């Protein structure tokens, strides 16, 4: 399959003040050999300078030979951090490790391409989060669970693919500071169970070696039942000596064969996946068994907290899926080994357009935690709608958990500041596939780019990240930048407005999760209800309801528990509210529903109208691809608007104050 | 795959008064050779008498040699009819054609097995409908569209299967008088397009030869775009000489190679299938082109009237899918050649549990018509729920169309009595697959059996047919008969009660059509809406609405048009009605909804309770299979009840008068 270069397209010419005299590149090590990362850094700088500026960088021993860039390995800088600065026309990229050098090289290229002059350049950057990870939900048959950008480029027909695209993927990923990648779906079945066996290890190593050259640790998702399914044992009990022994031998094999292996991701006892519950054991038992086996090799075990009863009876108003992550894991705080990291979704349900922050953040104090977000737009338009998610992730990161008086935000926790942890960070379910533009929707690439940048530098604003991405992808053009920035920054809000209102979520078609179906999940087994009747809507999660609101630390608990204090955008998540209830905005709930749905469509119309003016300015290929998506989004946003409004009008019998057409 | 003998299981012993002396079987022809049908008739009698009665029938020249059965070809009896009678201990099966002899043989076996004495036996039977057809929706990859009994036994991996099961299928089918079978899905794609080419004709002939031995004409579904897809022409325009020539050559090839070919079934311009509309031509143009090409070989063209706009906007209250069959075909009345038969579904929508009769019956007077019903339980429980459909078919057949003063029922029309037609009859979408018991649910076989019997002898009551099937399948046992008869005769009513109310239909999950989803088709493109709001529900198809009611002849039109006169069970099909409206039953609409849903579940509970008492009486294998299905039905009927009741309670805010639990 053909593929493009996304934000690393060096064919776009640019000018850069201060670059005129640069001709050389040199490396100063502390005596050690240049490793692959440094070589790749040099290569990247050579390609970029040649492509963008027409400058052929010659490798030399010492910059005495002329002006240039010096890659300098030094001491005393935090791992992965870099210092890029200009001094008398020379550019230095300084770091303590070769990964820092590589990141510095990408930083320099970025600075050149977004139009910053080299004179006076002085950037010191250190990643805030230790782990910055992508989770690919790629299956070995080549399909991608919740993939909206074609097929997998890691797997095809139960084979592992390693080719030119793999290298480009690693470059793109490393260029935004991502340092870990899980290559296979968390739902591990069939051939994927065998990834940790001789059948695949040669090829895993080959893939992993490419990653290593870009500072990316390779992770795999594990099948918890592997000891059984690989045909050797009749149990997967984490306390069984046979099972523990089996995993130790398997880990020894895998880590020895794949030196760049970072560890494993596990979805256990969730949505039909096997786990320690089968044997009456806890998640800590399960995770620790694997962690013990992986520890000798520095391996990490990332254990997902997405555990809930997916056989719920919709008639049951007491069981609350939102509570389940907390209820399952809170009691285990302190029991996990240090190389275990719990991976917790941003919200307690499942990547809806609006959810409260997961109460395990701030709920656990002695457990390594990683924030899981989803840039695959499963519930946010499936990369047919534009939905720039960085503003949402920013809100999550800034959320104060009140677990202590300061340094208590989600960002503090997953950066390790709150509890002095090192095994923590942020993971995103990836939005890539083998489409030429990698992400289906060209602008969805901003979420991939943005996730990496945000995890590395959470202090960046969503706008700053968006601007970088626009310039890197489409070059420097005022109209393009203003238009696309407006679109990106409007898109999440617009999507929220024309889809499910006030934090209630889930009004989508079952199974494929696309398009409106207000009752689609209402009478299902998934624990996902809105409880709308002719009087009102919402789930009572207050102390009088499921008590979920009380899982938060104060004052969050009191705010969420009280419908008068609860923020509008989460009101229906926490409370069952009459349609005639006045929101803080002064509108009734029903009028809010109508207004936001009309407004959301208007926003889309404005986005698309502005976009259309870029005809002839944007390159034709991505322009036409996006025109097709935006045309669909316009139409589909109307479908959302009309179905949601019709549903609530038919149910409540209350007319729109403004007399607009509701069917 | 293993398979059972369904109602032709001759291992079940029986006694039969008057059979004691029978030892011989002879054939009296009019000088012609015995053909395959007669041979198969003899074989069937030999197998049956040996298995059931332990009597080995010896073939002899003349019954002078001893008591026995004489198969006599004579003159003056209607084709396919037979006379079976006893005289002085001798049994005669008399017919004008060998198919009549075969049918008579099956009749004699049936009489023996249902316990009738041979003494005094005197049955003359002639089929009322000329065509009695099964439509299999089998795909060549082995899947079955809307199949609930396993995979196809006609096709596998794009190959045609001919084996022992084919023969048993033909015997079962012929034993109930079915004389035509369409082997492949009406949606003809991929390999199935090639069925009419050299690639498959040898094998089609092989299959067809087996059918021929049981008096069954083989039909195939055609791809209207075959002239293009088989790669030869760039058009399928029915008025193009090239296209007409192509079809003539193709028909010549196929009919010559497959002498037992009856003709073709075509779904054109429907749900994405190609058709004459593409070329600005009419259905008559399309059908007649094919009919002309098939005529030299006595071939028939069966043209489906299931044509509607499947891209409807749910916001559009004017377009009415129910009208579309009528609107598309009524104007063509008289334009079709005599070897064209229009195949019309029983109702104007699509095999819902309750629909009015299709208005084309009685709407057309100069066109051959065939009634299409569906024994595949697509919308009636998918063979996981018991739903005996013969009572429904009886109602349809008895429906007076008032197209003339008498002989105006649907039965009259499709039997040919109304307009003196010969190309007419009844077709059923088949419910079979390669499950051991053929139909998934053991009791679903009663629909297969019953369809054939009803098409042959529409004067039989649903009870009579059910009794026959019970005795033939499970032997003669009073408790078994009473229980299963009660269950069969209750099942359609029960299913209607706990699913969608008052004729409105469609409250199922989209795509797979199983299980409740009240709004599942409400905001879709399929033209299938209930229009429920907080005040009422139903589609206004009166003269003030879509005018559909007026498509019927008087007095039907006036009855349906008037909400005061319209029968309760179709009220919501024809009118939008407030929940508080009093039905003829004296109940309000909303109370009717609640009551029927509670009652329907009670009926299921009673059915299942009675069934469970047959443990140890019924053979274990079918008993256990059915226990599993009935356990599911009990639970699933509750799901229907609770979802439907919750939906309407939440929408209307009106409580159940009886205070039962609604969620």
Contact A649 B519 (CB under 8 A): no
Q: Is A534's CB within 8 Å of B651's CB?
A: yes
3-class secondary structure, A310? coil
Beta strand A122-125 with B82-87: parallel, antiparallel or unpaired? Answer: unpaired
For B647, the closest chain A residue by CA position comes to: A533
Counting every residue written for chain A, the total comes to: 663
Element of type H or E holding A495: helix A478-498
Q: Give first-to-last CA distance, chain A, whole Å.
A: 45
CA distance B106 to A5: 74
Closest to A653 (Cβ–Cβ): which among B519, B534, B663?
Answer: B534
Between CA B498 and CA B648 the distance in angstroms is: 13
Q: Do residues A462 and A136 make contact, with C-beta atoms less than 8 angstroms apart? A: no
Q: How far apart are CA A252 and CA A250, in angstroms?
A: 5
Whether the CB of A164 is below 8 Å from some CB of chain B: the reply is no
A525 and chain B in contact, CB less than 8 A: no
* 8 A C-beta contact, residue B403 and residue B412: no
Instruction: Count CA atoms within 13 Å of residue B260 on its CB side.
Output: 22
Residues of A in contact with B536 (CB under 8 A): none
At B390, list the tokens: 């013969």
Does any CB of chain B come closer than 8 Å to the CB of residue A197? no
Q: Is A120 on the interface with B (CB under 8 A)?
A: no
Cα–Cα dist B203/B160, whole Å = 6
- The token pair at A220 is 């795999």
- Crossing angle of helices A198-212 and A241-257, in 10° steps, is 50
A275 touches chain B (CB under 8 A): no
Strands A155-156 and A159-160: antiparallel
What are the CA-CA distances from residue B547 to residues A500, B322, B329, B538, B578 (Å)?
A: 37, 10, 17, 14, 20
Q: How far apart are CA B151 and CA B433, in angstroms?
A: 5
Residues from chain A that touch B533, judged by Cβ atoms under 8 A, are 649-651, 653
| Upper half-sphere CA count for residue B387 (Cβ side, 13 Å) | 31
> CA nearest B519 in A: which residue?
A519
Rounded Cα gap, residues A79 and B187, in angstroms: 63
Q: Tokens 């500072």 sit at which residue?
A: A215
Closest by CA to A557, choosing from A376, A348, A359, is: A359
Buried b (16+ CB within 10 A) or exposed e, B5-39: bbbbbbebebebebbeebbbbbbeeeeeeebbbbe
Q: Rounded distance, CA B510 to CA B335, Å?
A: 37
- Chain B residues whose CB is inside 8 A of the A643 CB are 523
CA distance A210 to chain B (A): 41
Pure H helices in B360-436: 390-398, 410-415
Cα separation, A50 vs A335, whole angstroms: 54
Query: Which residues sit opposite B341 in a β-bridge?
Result: B302
- Residue in B379, B651, B372, B663 with CA at minimum distance from that of residue B521: B379
Nearest CA to CA, how far is B531 from chain A (Å)? 9
In contact, B93 and B104? CB cutoff 8 Å: yes
B663 touches chain A (CB under 8 A): yes
Q: Where are the beta strands (DSSP E) in B519-611?
A: 536-537, 577-578
> pLDDT below 70 — which residues of chain A?
65
Which chain B residues contact residue A534 at CB under 8 A?
Answer: 534, 650-653
Interchain CB distance below 8 Å, A533 and B663: no
Torsion on CA atoms B639, B645, B648, B653, rounded to nearest 10: -130
Cis before B262? omega within 30: no
pLDDT score recorded for residue B34: 87
Choose among A496, A580, A483: nearest CA to A537: A580
Pull the structure tokens for residue A415.
């950066």
Residue B636 near residue B384, CB atoms below 8 Å: yes
Q: By C-alpha distance, which of A464, A383, A455 is closest to A126?
A: A455
* Number of C-beta neighbours around residue A274 at 10 A: 20
Q: Which strands sit side by side in the sheet containing B68-73, from one edge to the other?
A: B58-60, B24-28, B68-73, B90-95, B82-87, B122-125
Please indicate if any CB of chain B lies within 8 Å of the CB of A652: yes
Please identify every residue of B annotated as catalytic: 271, 350, 378
- Beta carbons of B401 and B356 less than 8 angstroms apart: no
Chain B partners within 8 Å of A314 (Cβ): 663
Contact call for residues B364 and B312 (beta carbons, < 8 A): no
Q: CB of B584 within 8 A of CB of B609?
A: no
Dihedral sign from CA coordinates of A492, A494, A498, A504: positive
**Beta carbons of B650 and A649 less than 8 Å apart:** no
Q: Determine whether the interchain pair A653/B516 forms a contact, defined as Cβ–Cβ distance below 8 Å.
A: no
What is the pTM (predicted TM-score) of this model?
0.92
Q: Does A647 touch chain B (CB under 8 A)?
A: yes
Quote the CA–CA distance of B413 and B357 in Å, as a whole number. Answer: 13
Phi-psi region of A505 (alpha: psi -120 to 50; beta: other; left: phi over 0): left
**Is A535's CB within 8 Å of B653's CB?**
yes
Q: Which of B530, B533, B538, B578 to mutate to test the interface with A (most CBs of A within 10 A)?
A: B533
Task: Return the number of CB contacts < 8 Å for A and B.
Answer: 51
Catalytic (active-site) positions of A? 271, 350, 378
Cβ-contact A145, A185 below 8 angstroms: yes
- As given in the structure block, the two tokens for residue B535 are 């005040």
Asked if residues A450 and A127 have their Cβ atoms less than 8 Å apart, the reply is no
| Sign of the alpha-carbon torsion through A518, A522, A527, A529 | positive
Q: Tell me, what's the pLDDT at A20?
A: 84
Q: How far apart are CA B11 and CA B54, in angstroms?
A: 10
Mapping DSSP to helix (H, G, I), strand (E, B) and coil, where does residue A70 land?
strand
Q: How many helices (H) and strands (E) does chain B have?
A: 17, 18
Q: How many angstroms separate the first and last alpha carbons of chain B? A: 45
Candidates A509, A520, A534: best to mutate against B (most CBs of B within 10 A) is A534
The strand pairing partners of B344, in sequence order, are B371
ipTM of the complex, rounded to two decimals: 0.88
CA–CA gap between residue B448 and residue B469 (Å, rounded): 10
Which residues in chain B have their CB less than 8 angstroms from residue A523's CB?
516-517, 639, 642-643, 646
- Give the closest-approach CA distance of A638 to chain B in angstroms: 12
Determine contact, residues B160/B154, Cβ cutoff 8 Å: yes
Paired residues of A370 in beta bridges = A343, A425
Low-confidence ranges of chain B (pLDDT < 50): none
Smallest CA–CA distance, residue A312 to chain B, in Å, is 13
Q: Which CB contacts under 8 angstroms, 24+ apart, belong to A226-235? A: A226/A193, A226/A196, A226/A250, A229/A193, A230/A193, A230/A194, A230/A197, A235/A279
């Amino acid at each position: 399959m053909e593929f493009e270069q996304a934000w690393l397209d060096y064919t776009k010419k640019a000018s850069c003040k201060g670059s005129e005299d640069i001709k050389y590149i040199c490396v100063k090590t502390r005596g050690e050999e240049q490793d692959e990362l440094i070589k790749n850094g040099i290569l990247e700088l050579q390609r970029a300078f040649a492509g963008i500026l027409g400058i052929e960088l010659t490798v030399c021993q010492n910059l005495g030979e002329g002006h240039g860039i010096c890659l300098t390995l030094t001491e005393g800088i935090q791992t992965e951090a870099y210092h890029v600065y200009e001094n008398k026309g020379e550019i230095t990229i300084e770091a303590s490790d070769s990964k820092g050098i590589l990141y510095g090289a990408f930083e320099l290229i970025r600075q050149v391409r977004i139009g910053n002059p080299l004179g006076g350049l002085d950037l010191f950057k250190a990643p805030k989060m230790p782990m910055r990870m992508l989770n690919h939900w790629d299956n070995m048959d080549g399909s991608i669970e919740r993939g909206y950008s074609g097929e997998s480029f890691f797997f095809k027909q139960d084979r592992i693919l390693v080719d030119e695209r793999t290298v480009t993927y690693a470059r793109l990923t490393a260029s935004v500071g991502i340092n870990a990648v899980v290559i296979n779906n968390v739902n591990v079945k069939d051939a994927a169970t065998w990834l940790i066996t001789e059948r695949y290890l040669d090829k895993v190593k080959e893939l992993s070696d490419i990653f290593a050259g870009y500072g990316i640790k390779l992770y795999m998702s594990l099948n918890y039942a592997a000891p059984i399914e690989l045909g050797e044992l009749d149990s997967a009990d984490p306390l069984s000596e046979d099972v523990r022994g089996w995993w130790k031998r398997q880990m020894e094999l895998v880590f020895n064969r794949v030196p760049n292996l970072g560890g494993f991701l596990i979805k256990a006892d969730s949505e039909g996946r096997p786990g320690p519950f089968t044997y009456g054991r806890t998640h800590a038992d399960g995770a620790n068994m694997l962690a013990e086996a992986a520890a000798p090799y520095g391996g990490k075990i990332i254990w997902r907290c997405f555990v809930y009863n997916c056989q719920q009876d919709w008639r049951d108003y007491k069981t609350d899926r939102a509570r389940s992550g907390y209820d399952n894991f809170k009691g285990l705080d302190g029991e996990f080994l240090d190389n275990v990291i719990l991976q917790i979704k941003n919200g307690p349900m499942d990547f809806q357009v609006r959810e409260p922050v997961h109460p395990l953040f701030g709920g656990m104090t002695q457990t390594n935690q990683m924030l899981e977000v989803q840039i695959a737009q499963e519930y946010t338009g499936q990369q047919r709608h534009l939905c720039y998610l960085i503003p949402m992730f920013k809100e999550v990161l800034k959320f104060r958990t009140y677990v202590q008086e300061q340094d208590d935000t989600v960002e503090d926790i997953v950066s390790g500041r709150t509890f002095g942890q090192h095994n923590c960070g942020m993971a995103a379910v990836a939005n890539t596939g083998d489409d030429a533009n990698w992400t289906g929707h060209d602008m969805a690439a901003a979420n991939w780019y943005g996730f990496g940048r945000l995890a590395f530098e959470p202090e960046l604003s969503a706008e700053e990240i968006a601007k970088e991405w626009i310039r890197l992808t489409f070059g420097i053009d005022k109209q393009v930048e203003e238009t696309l920035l407006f679109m990106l920054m409007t898109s999440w809000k617009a999507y929220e407005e024309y889809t499910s209102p006030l934090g209630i979520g889930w009004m989508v078609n079952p199974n494929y999760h696309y398009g409106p179906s207000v009752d689609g999940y209402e009478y299902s087994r998934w624990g996902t209800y809105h409880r709308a009747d002719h009087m009102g809507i919402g789930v009572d999660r207050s102390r009088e309801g499921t008590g979920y609101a009380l899982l938060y630390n104060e004052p969050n608990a009191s705010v969420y528990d009280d419908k008068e204090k609860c923020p509008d955008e989460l009101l229906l998540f926490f409370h069952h509210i009459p349609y005639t209830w006045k929101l803080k905005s002064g509108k009734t709930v029903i009028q809010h529903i109508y207004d936001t749905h009309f407004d959301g469509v208007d926003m889309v119309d404005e986005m698309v109208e502005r976009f259309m003016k870029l005809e002839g300015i944007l390159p034709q290929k991505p322009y036409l691809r996006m025109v097709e998506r935006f045309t669909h989004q316009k139409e589909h946003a109307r479908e959302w608007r009309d179905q949601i409004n019709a549903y609530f009008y038919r149910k409540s019998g209350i007319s729109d104050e403004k007399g607009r057409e509701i069917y």
